[in-house]
Structure 1
Amino acid sequence: MIGLTRSQDVDPRFFLPMPKAPPSKIWLEDEYRTLISSLQNEDLDKCLKHFATKALQLGNNADERDSLFSFGGRGLEFAKSVSSVPEERVEIVCLQALASHSADFRCCQNIIKMGGVQLLQQTYTKRHKSIVIRRQIAKTLGNLSVHQCFHEEIVRAGWVTVLSRWISSSDLTLSLHAARTLANLDTDFVSCTFEDGVYLIHPIYREKESINADIVFVHGLLGGPFKTWRQQDRKGPGADKSSDGTESVKKGTYTFCWPKDWLAKDCGNIRILSVEYDTDLSTWNANCPFETEKRSLTVRASSILQKLKKADIDSRPIIWVGHSMGGLLIKQILSIADDTQGLDNIVNNTVGVLFYSTPHRGSSLAHLSNQASLIVAPTVEVKEMGRDSPMLRRLHKDFQQLVMEHGIPCLSFGELEKTQIRTTKLKMLIVPPESSDPGIGEFHAMKTSHLNICKPWDRDSELYTETLKFIRRCLPQGRIENILRAGMTFKDSDR
């Protein structure tokens, strides 16, 4: 059944409808409160515990809900913007809490034990028209699917039928959550695991062709895997409003993910992954008073590296693509891998690195006033990206040495247009050319802003054509080169 679901253009009549969810005897909100309360224990991540405890103080008064029921990040303010129904707003925040807890295996065990999969069923039956609720359900299912011991529970609840529709959804976020879940469930075909924060962009269906290389995209501050890598937004009379309020060109000519819609077609036999990590204004841990050290480059890079290792990132040639701080994370990932026994294959297999406005020598953001700094970036990131930061100098020196030793080609783009800082009238070059030029490989200064440097205007724009040429040069030209690079020997069947 999973294999059928991961087959492109499969007839939906193959799948039985989701079984009816057992009727709830109490309000969904109360069921979620009971479930979230059961997930709390002394060993739980401090930030998860902080926001869950805060939420569980919620009273019955609607005004009190609006002021207290916040799980960090945008909380109910976000929920208010997507629903006019107070009850639904609370359910959305409950689902955000559940999705965040589901990244912890022990919480997953309790979610299953307490009937969390059936609770998601009830929520979907009641709110199936809400795209925000569908996304949060899909994210939770994706986290549960990481663990093979929960697969039967997910299948038995009828979620495969729903996921078979979601994987082909026009909503990129929902589609990629579903693709990740189904890939984790497809243990007969997929030999790796996609953990929370690692998304399979391509191929999302089963393919007969072998994969010759991996391309890994890492977003920057205020970015994400579902929005950073879109085509540049259009404005004007010929543009249509997209689902998130931004303007785009007419339906069918705009892509919310150019690696998925363009690169996958222009480069054959590749796997494309996109990495997600928490950023200052849009995450669960954004306002957590605990463990701010988790936001440092070193800790983040270590976490991403371990997740990519489980996604089998070290078994074939790799090309890394980073925007802004994402480029710094890539450098830190490679530095850690180079110094860690058992991870050196990641460096040995790296065949190219591409930077979009990466602040190799620091960013101007770090020199804004304290008030503006709080608006655009959290404290840890601001400190680490300061101009002439000793940490950045050391990281770049290590990277230069690594590139020279392994002969890794690099391509870099830098911005020439100023970016308006959100909620202020201030415009500035976020990463000036003297910082975005690493002094290694090719460098192109582009007449575009920091936010648009990774968003090509169209498929013929210089940003995309230069990116494509570089990636094609780095890719192995055929199976023989791939085998030789891996140090493998031919079997009789290969001759």
Structure 2
Amino acid sequence: MSEAHHWHDYQYRIIAQACDPRTLIGLARSKESDLRFFLPPPPLPSLKEDSSTEEELRHLLASLPQTELDECLQYFTSLALSESSQSLAAQKIPSHCDHIEAGGGLQLLQRLYQLHKDCPKVQRNVMRIIGNMALNEHLHPAIVHSGWVSLMAEALKSSHIMEASHAARTLANLDRETVGEKYQDGVYVLHPQCRTSQPIKADVLFIHGLMGAAFKTWRQHDSQRALTESAVVDEDRYTTCWPKTWLAKDCPSLRIISVEYDTSLSDWRARCPMERKSIAFRSNELLSKLRAAGVGDRPMIWISHSMGGLLVKKMLLEASKKPELNALINNTRGIIFYSVPHHGSRLAEYSVNIRYLLFPSLEVKELSKDSPALKTLQDDFLEFAKDKNFQVLNFVETQPTFIGSMIKLHVVPVESADLGIGDLIPVDVNHLNICKPKTKDAFLYQRTLQFICETLARDLEN
């Protein structure tokens, strides 16, 4: 049905009215499906007298139970008066999803989504909440009945990668017919985002670093953008996320996943004042999410930038201690490190006179050259990686980076990026651009692609 594009409108409406939830979700996840297959969401219930969408959302948020919450979730809940959608997005407890649905949250969020068509950030936060709720299979009928599948089908076709990726995550979590994995908060599949007959033979995981994000870290070097808003985007020349466009096209049999997690340079700017999450804490949290997404079931390559590489090392070491994660270790074929401070960074030293780093976050402190935890991690991982014979490729910047407007710093010097195994390649860029190729033909991308293809050669051939 997804290949039908020449029917009359009434024929699409007849099919749309007859579709069961399974067929509807399948059509939404099919790349070529006509949007006329999807009925408009049902009319939203009227708001209470003298009330607004924001007020009803605040009331709903205030009604959520506060038991079983860690300090940060309590903090976010307390911000309901100013950022209702952000606070709701932070809720990860299944019982909260039930309360949101029972309190009419699916309809309230849809009203908020429709009211803010000119504010993509609000819409993304709303989609993030729906994606989290879709992790609970007993809520699937309510999500479908409230019309969210139609909205997600439209968002999936968006040219904006963040909107499309949020929609893809939600629909994958709803699709229990062809998807066995569950994509938890912050885990995004960049390819394939739709149902496909292309067999997936291996996984490539992208883990960003300090102050990074699942999409923006892996964009093209910004200075190369020579496009106006009205120009047609040629993805071979410019992309906002090269793993999704360039890599997916060059290696279509890969599943490409990008992970997002909160980080902070300073406790002044921490998203939650109570949040002091160590590399060890984050690695266990991400490892659990990745296992839920089926990471480890196929051959795989890890690609990391800056502190993300330390998380990869910690995750692999933690996985090696758990017999149930043997497959993840055995299926790891290689790792690419983009300017990872294996031996520490001078970033942690700039905390005395620089207001921005006046109270460096725990993440920054763990990057200091004299950090015992960092030295132990390096020593343990080097021995482990040699024993497992992982293929390794290290890139490192040679130019300094502006930190705020006050200091210019060589964040990761060559000696710190030297893991002790694998090629070490200096590149004439700064710390932020070490993972942002200027063009598809640029050395940074082509050498990365070569490593992936060579390391997975046997797996991709089978």
Determine if the TM-score, normalized by the shorter chain, exceeds 0.5. Answer: yes
Q: Structure 1 CA distance, aligned partners of 2:238 and 2:358? A: 28
**Structure 1 alignment gaps of length 5 or more:** 59-68, 70-92, 243-248, 482-495
Q: What does residue 20 of structure 2 align with? A: none
Q: What does residue 401 of structure 1 align with? A: 383
CA 1:257–1:379 in structure 2 vs 1: closer, same or farther (change >3 Å)? same
Q: Is the 8 A contact 1:22 1:122 kept in 2?
A: no
Where in structure 2 are the equivalents of 1:93-132 lying within 5 Å?
93-101=83-91, 103-132=92-121
Q: What does residue 16 of structure 1 align with? A: 39
Q: What does residue 322 of structure 1 align with? A: 304
Matched, 1:430 2:429: no
Q: Is the 8 A contact 2:266 2:360 kept in 1?
A: no
CA 1:7–1:397 in structure 2 vs 1: closer, same or farther (change >3 Å)? same
Q: Structure 1 CA distance, aligned partners of 2:370 and 2:391? A: 25
Q: Structure 1 CA distance, aligned partners of 2:72 and 2:224? A: 39
How far residue 289 of structure 1 moved from its aligned partner, in angstroms, is 3.2
Which AA in structure 2 matches 1:387? K
Q: What does residue 489 of structure 1 align with? A: none
SS of corresponding position for 2:111: helix
Which AA in structure 1 matches 2:434? I
Q: What does residue 274 of structure 1 align with? A: 258
How far residue 131 of structure 1 moved from its aligned partner, in angstroms, is 1.4
Q: What does residue 160 of structure 1 align with? A: 149
Match of 2:335 among 353, 368, 371: 353
Which AA in structure 2 matches 1:99? A
Q: Is the 8 A contact 1:419 1:451 kept in 2?
A: yes
SS of corresponding position for 2:384: helix
SS of corresponding position for 2:60: helix
Which AA in structure 2 matches 1:472? C
CA 1:34–1:433 in structure 2 vs 1: closer, same or farther (change >3 Å)? same
Q: Structure 2 CA distance, aligned partners of 1:135 and 1:239? A: 25
Q: Structure 2 CA distance, aligned partners of 1:412 and 1:376? A: 31
Q: What does residue 383 of structure 1 align with? A: 365
Which AA in structure 2 matches 1:289? P
Count of residues in correspondence between the two structures: 434
Provide TM-score, normalisation by structure 2: 0.89
CA 1:379–1:129 in structure 2 vs 1: closer, same or farther (change >3 Å)? closer
Q: Structure 1 CA distance, aligned partners of 2:232 and 2:353? A: 39
Matched, 1:258 2:258: no
Provide TM-score, normalisation by structure 1: 0.84
Which AA in structure 1 matches 2:425? H
Q: What does residue 430 of structure 2 align with? A: 449
Match of 2:61 among 25, 36, 55: 36
Where in structure 2 are the equivalents of 1:363-378 lying within 5 Å?
363-372=345-354, 374-375=356-357, 378=360
Q: What does residue 6 of structure 2 align with? A: none
Q: Is the 8 A contact 1:145 1:151 kept in 2?
A: yes
Percent of aligned pairs with the same residue?
43
How far residue 43 of structure 1 moved from its aligned partner, in angstroms, is 2.2
Q: Structure 2 CA distance, aligned partners of 1:18 and 1:218? A: 36
Q: Structure 2 CA distance, aligned partners of 1:378 and 1:157? A: 45
Matched, 1:217 2:206: yes
How far residue 209 of structure 1 moved from its aligned partner, in angstroms, is 2.1
Matched, 1:465 2:446: yes
Q: Structure 2 CA distance, aligned partners of 1:5 and 1:43? A: 35
How far residue 251 of structure 1 moved from its aligned partner, in angstroms, is 3.2
Q: Is the 8 A contact 2:334 2:390 kept in 1?
A: yes
Q: Structure 2 CA distance, aligned partners of 1:441 and 1:250? A: 40
Q: RMSD of aligned C-alpha atoms?
A: 2.1
Per-residue CA deviations over 1:276-330 (Å, capped at 9, x if unaligned) read 11111799x92433252xx100010000001100111111101000000000000
Matched, 1:288 2:272: yes
SS of corresponding position for 2:377: helix
CA 1:366–1:99 in structure 2 vs 1: closer, same or farther (change >3 Å)? same
**Structure 2 alignment gaps of length 5 or more:** 1-23
How far residue 409 of structure 1 moved from its aligned partner, in angstroms, is 0.5
How far residue 377 of structure 1 moved from its aligned partner, in angstroms, is 8.2
Match of 1:195 among 181, 184, 187: 184
Q: Structure 1 CA distance, aligned partners of 2:127 and 2:359? A: 29
Match of 2:223 among 223, 229, 234: 234
Which AA in structure 1 matches 2:300? I
Q: Structure 1 CA distance, aligned partners of 2:364 and 2:110? A: 42
SS of corresponding position for 1:234: helix
Q: Structure 1 CA distance, aligned partners of 2:336 and 2:193? A: 24
Matched, 1:297 2:279: yes
CA 1:373–1:193 in structure 2 vs 1: closer, same or farther (change >3 Å)? farther
How far residue 241 of structure 1 moved from its aligned partner, in angstroms, is 6.8
